[in-house]
Structure 1
């Protein structure tokens, strides 16, 4: 086997592609459309946010999808949910320390996306144009 093939094999061993892979397992949870946005909003907000406040701020998310996203983030320990037994019921969400620890990484990705957005959209247009004439 040549050296490059051995290096690639070693790299593949480092990144176990099974569902038990810790990297894949964690990153898959943030690959959806809403999780990163919810984390960013909770991170920028001073103090807890109510469910309806989150929904109104995001705008185009359904109640069901916001509920699923918040439950997933809560299950992963990123978000703390506090329910007040009032009428009508009041529920607030806040980032945990674990969730706050993710913010600098998401902010870095956000800055990268903003910086490179024009280049990415130009590349997409070129790709589509090539595909149309191929």
Structure 2
């Protein structure tokens, strides 16, 4: 008899678990999608582009995405201060997966 495969999100050696940990949560994929569609955005532009996200959730999600290497944060030393967010190369590699997810979602809607 074949052994059952057990999945744990905490398994650092599992590529699926690592990928899911990088994008887990309600707001990370919408942030990545908005940056994909619009390119580089400032914080307030991102906030306006994602309906329902709070300042606290946007800030924490951006920090986590930056720590995962999926987005880049550039701070300009100006007055008033300006910060811009964009996808990194690793974040851009996620886009074909999101395109396929969108196609699958279209089929579900039909």
TM-score bracket, shorter-length normalisation: 0.7 to 0.9
- 2:8 alignment partner, one of 17, 26, 30: 17
Instruction: Specify the structure having the higher radius of gyration (Cα).
Output: 1
Moved more, 107-116 or 24-33: 24-33
Aligned length: 108
Which of 1 and 2 has higher RCO (CA within 8 Å, sep 6+)? 2
Judge conservation of contact 2:9–2:21 (CA < 8 Å) in 1. no
Q: How large is the Cα RMSD of the aligned pairs?
A: 1.8
Q: Note the C-alpha offset of 1:95.
A: 0.3
C-alpha distance in 2 between matches for 1:31 and 1:76: 11
- 2:57 alignment partner, one of 52, 61, 65: 65
C-alpha distance in 2 between matches for 1:36 and 1:25: 15
Deviations 1:72-103 (A, max 9, x none): 11001100000011222110000001000001
Q: Which runs of 5+ in 1 are unaligned?
A: 119-134
Q: Which runs of 5+ in 2 are unaligned?
A: none
1:83 equivalenced with 2:66 (yes/no): no
Q: TM-score, normalised on structure 1? A: 0.73
